[in-house]
């Protein structure tokens, strides 16, 4: 009986492996950056914050977000605030 259930189990597992809403953007491939990096490269803050807004607006729990995304979101937000203070 378990041999008959194996194909069904495999099909169910594969059905749950659909594309995520973030599959078009390789957030997990992004390098981790510090706030100092974003301060030195302010043009990169907005693209990172766009990714951050997408993650924040999703139903993905914060604990399931890639650490590099969380790290870069915090670093970019802090760098942006520092740049606004120095203007």
Question: Token pair for residue 18?
Answer: 């659909």
22-62: pLDDT as tens digits: 443 455 578 999 999 999 999 999 999 999 999 888 888 87
pLDDT of residue 10: 55
Q: What is the pLDDT of residue 78?
A: 97
Question: Number of folded domains in the chain?
Answer: 1
Average pLDDT of the chain, as a whole number: 78
Closest of 38, 34, 28, 9 to residue 68, by C-alpha: 28
Q: Report yes or no on 9 lying in a domain.
A: no
Q: What's residue 60's pLDDT? A: 83
The CA distance from 75 to 38, in Å, is 7
The answer to whether residues 86 and 35 touch, using CB atoms and an 8 Å cutoff, is no
**What is the span of the domain harbouring residue 53?**
21-85
Phi/psi region, residue 26 (left: phi>0; alpha: psi -120 to 50; beta: rest), is beta
């Amino acid at each position: 009986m378990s041999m008959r259930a194996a194909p069904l189990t495999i099909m169910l597992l594969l059905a749950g492996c659909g594309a995520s809403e973030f599959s078009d953007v390789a957030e997990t491939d992004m390098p981790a950056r510090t706030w100092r990096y974003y301060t030195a490269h302010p043009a990169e803050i907005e693209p990172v914050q766009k990714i951050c807004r997408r993650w924040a607006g999703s139903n993905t729990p914060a604990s399931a977000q890639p650490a590099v995304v969380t790290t870069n979101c915090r670093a970019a937000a802090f760098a942006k605030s520092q740049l606004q203070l120095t203007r």
